């Protein structure tokens, strides 16, 4: 995460005292939130097409990872080898001096089905009547096959993950305003961490970082998130070939249904040395 991730602002702090309330002026640091447009170039060299495929509110930094992770989780690409170039577009704008457009060019031989993207936007996790369609769309995207036997993780390792995550959230320490996603192994080591104002963006950045490092699929790893587990986060975990999602907060009903359908391990309310197992208990020692 770069220094674009937070800005210093002037605030007035109110504190209760024996005499009433005291108000004092002081500086504070807040998380940056800026729009990011993802543009896609695809098709044969003599018939290239350009399409704006997403606009998301994010914390600037690791935008190439975010864009690549988004394309992978939506089934537009299968791996980093299908991407030719990624570059920021336009001038740096706003108080964070951020480039708010990123252009991804796919290799000419890559076949693109943008209908998958359109179906996803219709069947989001916020749409209660579309749950069955969302799960069927994932099956049509041919999600990676998961390892039934890995990772094998002890409960004692799971208990310690939230504290490790919290100690690694450098921008959260300054602002208190970011979600985090971390990749961990069977021994509880945090291998990578990403922060963002959007929980889905944090996971996209994390998955994108592993895509660029050619470490996908994440067959023997788990993903830890600082908030709740939604259908969207489960989808991104699945499309990265990762069999386990661990959430500090609560899962949604559709997240549980997805985990059961694809035989993923889903843990929720992981805090205070306890957690709930919603699916995939066989991966826990």
Q: 109-162 pLDDT, tens per residue? A: 999 987 766 655 443 433 333 455 566 766 656 788 899 889 999 999 999 999
User: Does the pLDDT of residue 178 top 90, yes or no?
Assistant: no
Give the integer Cα–Cα distance in Å for 267 and 249.
9
Active site residue 127: yes
Which has the higher per-residue pLDDT, 46 or 133?
Answer: 46
pTM of the model: 0.86
Give the integer Cα–Cα distance in Å for 227 and 180.
8
Average pLDDT over residues 255-272: 96
Which has the higher per-residue pLDDT, 138 or 193?
Answer: 193
At residue 36, what are phi and psi to the nearest 5 degrees? -130, 125
Catalytic residue among 114, 127, 150, 277: 127
- Least confident window among 12-16, 77-81, 242-246, 280-284: 12-16
> Which CA distances in Å does 68 have to 9, 84, 85, 104?
32, 11, 11, 8
């Amino acid at each position: 995460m770069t220094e674009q991730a937070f800005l210093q602002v002037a605030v007035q702090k109110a504190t209760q005292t024996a005499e009433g309330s005291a108000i004092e002026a002081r500086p504070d640091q807040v998380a940056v939130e800026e729009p990011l447009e993802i543009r896609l170039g695809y098709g044969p060299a003599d018939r290239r097409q350009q399409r704006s495929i997403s606009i998301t509110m994010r914390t600037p930094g690791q935008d190439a990872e975010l864009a690549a992770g988004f394309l992978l989780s939506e089934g537009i690409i299968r791996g980093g080898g299908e991407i030719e170039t990624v570059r920021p577009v336009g001038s740096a704008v706003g108080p964070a001096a951020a480039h708010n457009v990123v252009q991804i060019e796919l290799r000419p031989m890559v076949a693109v089905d943008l209908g998958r993207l359109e179906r996803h936007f219709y069947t989001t996790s916020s749409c209660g009547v579309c749950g069955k369609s969302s799960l069927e769309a994932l099956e049509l995207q041919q999600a990676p096959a998961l390892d039934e036997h890995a990772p094998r993780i002890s409960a004692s390792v799971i208990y310690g993950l939230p504290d490790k995550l919290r100690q690694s959230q450098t921008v959260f320490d300054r602002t208190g305003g970011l979600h985090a996603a971390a990749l961990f192994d069977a021994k509880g080591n945090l291998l990578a961490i990403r922060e963002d104002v959007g929980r889905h963006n944090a996971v996209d950045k994390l998955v994108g970082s592993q895509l660029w490092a050619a470490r996908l699929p994440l067959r023997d790893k788990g993903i830890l998130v600082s908030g709740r587990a939604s259908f969207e986060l489960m989808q991104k975990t699945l499309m990265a070939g990762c069999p386990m999602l661990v959430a500090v907060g609560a899962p949604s009903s559709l997240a549980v249904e997805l985990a059961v359908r694809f035989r993923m391990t889903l843990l929720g309310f992981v805090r205070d040395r306890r957690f709930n197992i919603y699916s995939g208990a066989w991966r826990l020692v």
